[in-house]
């Protein structure tokens, strides 16, 4: 989620300009922005849960998932070496 970078002064252009113009100390900046960050994360997760609560499985069986290597589209170095 992009919203979790909110407490950082360099997270977006508005924060960069504000930090440059007003020069707030880092601890003050985080103290102001962290509650906003928590609300944003909570609301985002809540909306995702409301929208997808019926389609999410109760249990995730990891052995039923395909191997991560199957998601790669580019040939591996070994496959390129073989031709």
Report the distance separating Cα 39 and Cα 57, nearest Å: 26
Across all residues in the chain, what is the average pLDDT? 80
Q: Does pTM top 0.75 for this prediction? A: no
Q: Is the pLDDT of residue 58 over 60?
A: yes
Per the structure block, which two tokens stand in for 28? Answer: 């003050």
DSSP character string of 19-43: HHHH---HHHHHHHHHHHHHHHHHH
What is the average pLDDT across 49-60? 88
Q: Which two tokens stand for residue 3?
A: 């919203």
- 3-state DSSP call for residue 55? coil
Average pLDDT, integer, range 10-35: 76
Give whichever of 13-17, 23-27, 41-45 has the largest mean pLDDT.
Answer: 41-45
Answer yes or no: is pLDDT of 1 > 60. Answer: no
Mean pLDDT over residues 35-62, rounded?
88
Give the domain ranges of the chain: 1-55
Cβ-contact 4, 36 below 8 angstroms:
no
């Amino acid at each position: 989620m992009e919203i979790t970078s909110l407490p950082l002064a360099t997270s977006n252009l508005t924060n960069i300009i504000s930090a440059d113009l007003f020069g707030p100390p880092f601890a003050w900046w985080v103290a102001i922005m962290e509650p906003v960050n928590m609300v944003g994360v909570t609301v985002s997760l809540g909306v995702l849960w409301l929208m997808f609560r019926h389609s999410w499985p109760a249990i995730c069986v990891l052995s039923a998932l395909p191997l991560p290597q199957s998601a790669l589209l580019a040939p591996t170095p070994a496959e390129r070496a073989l031709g």
